[in-house]
Amino acid sequence: MDAYIRLATVEDAQAISNVVISALRQSNTKDYPADVIVRVEQNFSPLAIERLMVRRRMYVASVDQRVVATASLDGDVIRSVFVAPRYQRAGLGRRLMSVICSAALDMGLVTLHVPSSITAESFYTELGFQKVRDEFDGAERTIIMRKSMMETTPTIQTRRLILTPLQLADAPAIQQLFPHWEVVRYLDSRVPWPYPEDGALTYVRDHALPAIAAGREWHWMIRTCEDPAHCIGSISLYDQPGNNRGFWLAPQWQGKGYMREACEVINAYWFETLGRPVMQVPKAVGNHASRKVSEHEGMRMIATRQGDFVCGPLLKEVWEMTREAWLEKKAALGPLSREQ
């Protein structure tokens, strides 16, 4: 869905009011009695919206120049996240939350809070918020939730590389470097091919950044220390069964040992910082370069099954390394392993 997210203006007040009230009436009625819905609606008249704009950083998402969703940042509190019923389950709420979390980081906020309705509790939980307590105003139950902003993806440096957290501004570089057959042919078939002109923007904005905000994925762009202004590839971690790491490198940078170097510190982040007990990595049987990386790391192949890749159906190998095996290898290599 092609939606545009921006700061709200006074001219949006009526449209925002319409979005909030329609969402309350159609989405929240299963969790709250009618008198509560009516009372909450009174807080979102167009005039009330205008007054809230003075105190809050209010955003809207528009489709075809029509406001269809809204969310606000009030200090360190996220408030009034609503999506018009017709546009729910299309990722707009996640995109608004991603924008708000980015704004919070720019403001130097350490923690974000959200007073969640019963209806939205699972949504915020998926984004990494944790319940703190319940609050009641008569029959209206509100779940106070909190998320630490300190758990952001760090910048990691090796002897030759700088791994920087993925940002929306990286999309143009990805669009230039990624859509090459040598890069994509052994990737999962979910990668569209031919790669669309907005493929990188759509992926970063609609999938990767919301997954990062939810604490389900961690993405880095790979840069060389000699030329840190330019990206040469990407490496990612996923909290998914059987698929915990992925990477790609632009063709002109392959064969230089950069991915081995990146994997070494990313593995350390997975096992040490995130404390995960095992890493599993799937790959096409024909992907010999990726296979060599896993062999070099001391991974072992534990399964072979059918897979679907950009190049077509192929057998897929699943490689695994446990935290214990990784710690043993790290101890054997010694403290200089990251520079070798």
Task: State which of 67-71, 101-105, 134-138 shows the largest mean pLDDT.
Answer: 67-71
Number of domains the chain contains: 2
pLDDT of residue 51: 96
Residues 6+ positions from 195 with CB-CB distance below 8 Å: 178, 179, 184
DSSP code string of 103-130: HHHHTT-SEEEEEE-TTTHHHHHHTT-E
Euclidean distance between CA atoms 28 and 61, whole angstroms: 20
Rounded average pLDDT over 216-236: 95
Of 115 and 154, more confident: 115
106 and 194 within one domain: no
Pick from 180, 310, 326: nearest CA to 264: 326
CATH number at residue 69: 3.40.630.30
Give 88-101 pLDDT, tens digit per residue: 988 889 889 888 88
221 and 112 within one domain: no
pLDDT of residue 30: 85
Rounded average pLDDT over 314-337: 83
Q: What percent of the chain has pLDDT over 70?
A: 97
Dmax over Cα atoms in the chain, in whole Å? 67
pLDDT of residue 236: 98
Give 42-53 pLDDT, tens digit per residue: 999 999 999 999
Rounded average pLDDT over 264-284: 92
Point out the domain boundary residue: 148, 176, 198.
148
Going from the C-alpha of 146 to that of each of 18, 151, 180, the distances in angstroms are: 28, 12, 42
Confidence check: pLDDT of 339 > 50? no
Give the model's confidence band at 21: pLDDT under 50 very low, under 70 low, under 90 confident, else very high: very high
Pick from 18, 104, 8, 22: nearest CA to 51: 8
222 and 275 within one domain: yes
Rounded average pLDDT over 112-124: 92
- Contact of 148 with 111, CB cutoff 8 Å: yes
Confidence check: pLDDT of 340 > 50? no
Rounded average pLDDT over 199-213: 89
Q: List the domain range (segments joined by +) for residue 246.
A: 156-339
Give 126-162 pLDDT, tens digit per residue: 787 889 999 998 888 999 999 877 556 889 999 999 9
Which of 13-27, 48-62, 95-109, 297-311 is predicted least confidently? 95-109
Residues 6+ positions from 202 with CB-CB distance below 8 Å: 196
pLDDT of residue 192: 96
Point out the domain boundary residue: 118, 148, 178.
148
Which residue blocks in the chain are alpha helix, DSSP H?
13-27, 34-41, 46-55, 92-106, 121-126, 171-177, 181-184, 199-203, 209-213, 258-268, 288-297, 323-333
Order across the sheet with 161-165: list the strands: 156-157, 161-165, 217-224, 227-240, 243-249
What are the b/e assignments for 273-303, b being 16+ CB within 10 Å?
eeebeebbbbbbeebeebbebbeebebeeee
62 and 99 within one domain: yes
Rounded average pLDDT over 295-317: 96
Structure tokens at 335: 């403290």
How many C-beta atoms lie closer than 10 Å to residue 35's C-beta?
11
pLDDT of residue 272: 86
51 and 133 within one domain: yes
What are the b/e assignments for 237-269, b being 16+ CB within 10 Å?
bbeeeeebbbbbbbeeebeeebbebbbbbbbbb
pLDDT of residue 334: 62
77 and 55 within one domain: yes
Which of 54-58, 164-168, 230-234, 271-275 is predicted least confidently? 271-275
Which of 12-16, 121-125, 156-160 is predicted least confidently? 121-125
Euclidean distance between CA atoms 245 and 56, whole angstroms: 39
251 upstream amide cis, omega within 30 of 0: no
205 and 324 within one domain: yes
Point out the domain boundary residue: 148, 180, 212.
148
pLDDT of residue 337: 37
163 and 310 within one domain: yes
> pTM of whole model > 0.75?
no
> Residue 299 has what DSSP assignment?
-
- Contact of 177 with 195, CB cutoff 8 Å: no
134 and 53 within one domain: yes
313 Rama sector, left if φ>0, alpha if ψ -120 to 50, beta otherwise: beta
Rounded average pLDDT over 215-226: 93
Euclidean distance between CA atoms 193 and 155, whole angstroms: 31
22 and 134 within one domain: yes
138 and 39 within one domain: yes
19 and 128 within one domain: yes
